[in-house]
Amino acid sequence: MAELTADRVERLKDADVFIYHGKIYIPASYTAGAVGSRFLIEMRDNKKIMGTRCVACDLVYVPARSVCKHCFAQLDKWVEVSDRGTLQTYTVAGQANGVQPVDPPIIYGVVLLDGASTGLVHMISGVDFEKLAVGMRVKAVFAEKRVGSILDIKYFAPL
């Protein structure tokens, strides 16, 4: 809900309206699919980051996916990409939004892993904010306990 600003309090006072506070209960399951599942399993069991290659477009998609968005070919060629890469962009997100996996401030970044054609969106840690820079080299730090989630990579840290 928006903050109760002076303007808003004034309006509420005048309007004398009823506000009903509700919540919707909607559990949902999300299927990773055959390709997404293998990507997550390789990360969980072997600490490997896998991509799928489109030979015709000469692209390696990470996270792996089943169809090339350019030529619509079905992708079945798996390649392991490096756990090291280059930071394409980053932000220090200071605002809590209720759904973050760790307390803010959180550094988010897009990492182009060596051998991949697409960037992996993840968190960056173990670096002072003022030392962050586009182009810096980073390396995946895997979680001790891995469960088959993108959070099996805890974060990327500077090399």
Partner 1 sequence: MTERVGIVAVAQTKYSPNRADANEGELVYEAVRQVLQETGLKFAQDGSGIDATVTCSQDFWDGRTISSCNVMSYVGHHHSDEDKVAEDSLNAVYTAFARILSGHQDVILVATHCKESQGDKRGIENAAMDPIFLRVLGLDFLSAAALQARRYMYKYGITPEQCARVVVKNRGNAKRNPLAQEPMEITVEDVLGSQVLASPIRQLDSKPTSDGACAMILAREGKAKKLARKPIWILGASNCYETNYLGDRDLAECDALVTAAKKAYKMAGIKDVMNQVNVAEISEEYSYQELLWMEGLGFCQRGEAGRLLDSGVTQMGGQLPVNPSGGMLAGNPTVVAGMARAAEAVLQLRGEAGEHQAEGAKKALVHGFTGACGQLQGVMILGN
Is residue 126 within the footprint of partner 1 (CB under 8 A)?
no
55 lies in the binding site for partner 1 (CB under 8 A) = no
| Burial class (CB within 10 angstroms; exposed 0-12, middle 13-18, buried 19+) of 74 | exposed
CA dist., res. 8 & res. 61, Å (int): 48
Beta strands in 49-135 (DSSP E): 49-54, 59-61, 77-81, 84-93, 106-113, 120-124
| b/e code 90-114 from CB counts within 10 Å (16+ = b) | beeeeeeeeeeeeeeebbebbbbbe
Q: Does 58 bind partner 1 (CB under 8 A)?
A: no
How far apart are CB 94 and partner 1 at their closest, in Å?
6
- The yes or no reply on residue 62 touching partner 1 (CB under 8 A) is yes
Site for partner 1 in 12-41 (CB under 8 A): 12, 14-15, 17, 19, 22, 24, 28, 30, 32, 36, 40
How many residues form the binding site for partner 1 (CB under 8 A)? 50
Q: Pick the stretch among 43-51, 76-84, 138-146, 147-155 that binds partner 1 (CB under 8 A).
A: 147-155
Q: Is the N-terminal amide bond of 63 cis, ω within 30° of 0?
A: yes
Sheet holding 59-61, edge to edge: 59-61, 49-54, 77-81
Binder among 84, 119, 136, 143 for partner 1 (CB under 8 A): 119
Residues near partner 1 (CB under 8 A): 1-2, 5, 7-8, 11-12, 14-15, 17, 19, 22, 24, 28, 30, 32, 36, 40, 61-63, 69, 88-95, 97-101, 106, 108-110, 118-123, 129, 134, 149-151
